[in-house]
Each structure stands twice: as C-alpha cells, then as structure tokens.
Amino acid sequence: MELWFLGTSAGMPIANRNVTAIALQMPQNRGTFWMFDCGEGTQHQLLRSPFRLSRLEKLFITHLHGDHLFGLPGLLSSRSSLGGTEPLDLYGPPGLREFIEATLRISETHLGYPLRIHEIEEGTVCEDDFFTVEAAKLDHRIDSFGYRITELPRTGVLNTELLAKLGVPSGPLYGSLKSGRDITLEDGRIIRSAEVVGNPLPGRIIVVLGDTKPCDSAIELARGADLLVHEATFANDLVDKAGEYGHSTTLQAAETAQAAGVKWLLITHFSSRYSSEDLASLEAESRIVFSHTDAAVELKPYAIPRTTARNSD
C-alpha cells in the first residue's frame, strides 16, 4: 500500500502545489485505489501519477469546503469518459448528495457507472473482508471528519517446505491448511493448521484527518495508527490565526501524533504563504515534538509498512 499526495496546499493552489487530494493505492491483489478529498485540479495531478480513474473504488470527502471538493464533479465525469463502469462509492458529510446531484443535473452530466453516495455520521462507514473504515467528527468551522482505515490481519505464510517433508500433496489440502482447517492424510496422520501456518500478518492502520483544530476526537481516532495524515496549515508563530480559522499548526499536529502514539506523521495542507522551500522548516518544527514527521511532497509515493519499522517492505 502506498499513499500519494495529489495536493498539499490549503485554501487555493500555488504554482507548484495543488489543493487537497490524496490517493491510497490498495494491496496489489485488490487492483484498485481509494481517494480522500478532491480539490480543483485533482484530475491533472492524477495524469502525473500511476493511477487510472477506472480503478477508483472509493472516494472519501472530509468536509465540504471548496479546496477539498471542487474537483469532484469533473473527476466523476472523466471517470465515465475513460471507460469506468464499476460502481463508485462516495462518502462524505451531509450536503454532499445535494452538491453532486445538483452539479450533475445542471451540467447535464451522465455517468456510465453506478454512483453510490453515502452521507456519513460518526462510527463505521464501510467494511468488507479486508478493511474497515471508521469516521469521527473533528473541530473545524463546518462539519469535518477524519477517517481511520484498518486493514484486517492476514493469514500467516504456509510452510510449504515442511509440508513437502511431511508428504502433504500440494493442491486443495494446502488451501484447507491455509484457511485454518486441520486435515487428515490417507495414512491417518493429522496435520494441524497451527503447526504449518505462520503467525498472522498484522494489518496496517492509516488515519486521514480533515481540517481541524486540536481535539480529543483526533487523538482517539488516530490511536496507535501506523500512519497519521494531519493538516499543518501554519507554523507555530501563527497559532492564534490557526485557532481563529479552525486549523492546526505544525507543533499541534505533532502533539496530536505524540498523544495518539502513532508511528509516523505526515503533515500537509500548508498555507499558500509558504513556498516549497519553507516545507523543510515546517517539518523541522514538527520534529521538535514528534521526530517521525515528514512534510508531504506531492506525487511522491509513501510506502506504508506492515511492521513498526518505517523502512520495512
């Protein structure tokens, strides 16, 4: 799994930074990607990435401010024009349905795929056999949500070398053992799954927050996460301005990461007053409190490891 930032600027784009959008490449066997927010110009950023719109499976909107939303109608239309036929699930705060349906109706845009709009509340918003997504309200000027994506543990690795020594023929019996079922061989020997399958592989937890001031719900949502994406609109010398506009500073984002016990913090949503050259100083300011902080760089893949080591495969 990899996280790609398609935009890291707050409020409006600048010459070398777009407004907010994030793509999450799902595991290879799934063959899809998810998105979080869709600011104006997101389509152009996707053209510079390895993602194909036809493979977009789910899109989560954190809140209805324009820098997180205005790219959505065009992206939905392009997904249809590019041959996307699979259903797309769209999640976001109340009001999202009205915005999308009115925009598509007035522009006479017709989609070639089912669009399923889910206006969310706090709690579990979707789940399947591999992932659960939960949402919590944050503290912003309008309703703003954070999303916690939990990958369920995977079955451990099958010890095929041991099975060969035990004379277990490959095929359906391997599948039974892998799924946790004991088997009985023709000679009466019982092979127990627990003895030939390794420990379960832990799932990853990724938390993506919308715009927010520091709040308890952000800490609770991010508790123990492998990766936290947190806005850092301003440097800490503008802490009063951050509070006035419902945002966080670099230090406040780091304090949330520290309190939640996350493994890795990626800060984003930087005010347009900061140039790309300023990001190193914003990153350094966060690292005063939380050393495992990086300032997000657009169109750079961030691999999300399964283990506690950030540099693991």
Give the residue numbers marked as catalytic: 67
**Annotation: binding site for Zn(2+):** 63, 65, 67-68, 140, 211, 269
Could you give the C-alpha distances from 138 to 78, 122, 154, 218, 257, in angstroms and in order?
Answer: 31, 10, 31, 6, 15
Helix (H, G, I), strand (E, B) or coil at 127: strand
**Annotation: binding site:** 63, 65, 67-68, 140, 211, 269
Q: Per-residue b/e over 209-233, b at no fewer than 16 CB within 10 Å?
A: bbbbbbbebbbebbeebbbbbbbbb
Residue among 36, 31, 80, 27 at smallest CA distance from 268: 36
Are the beta carbons of 228 and 265 closer than 8 angstroms? yes
State the Cα–Cα distance between residues 232 and 8, nearest whole angstrom: 10
Residue 256: how many CB atoms within 10 A of its CB? 25
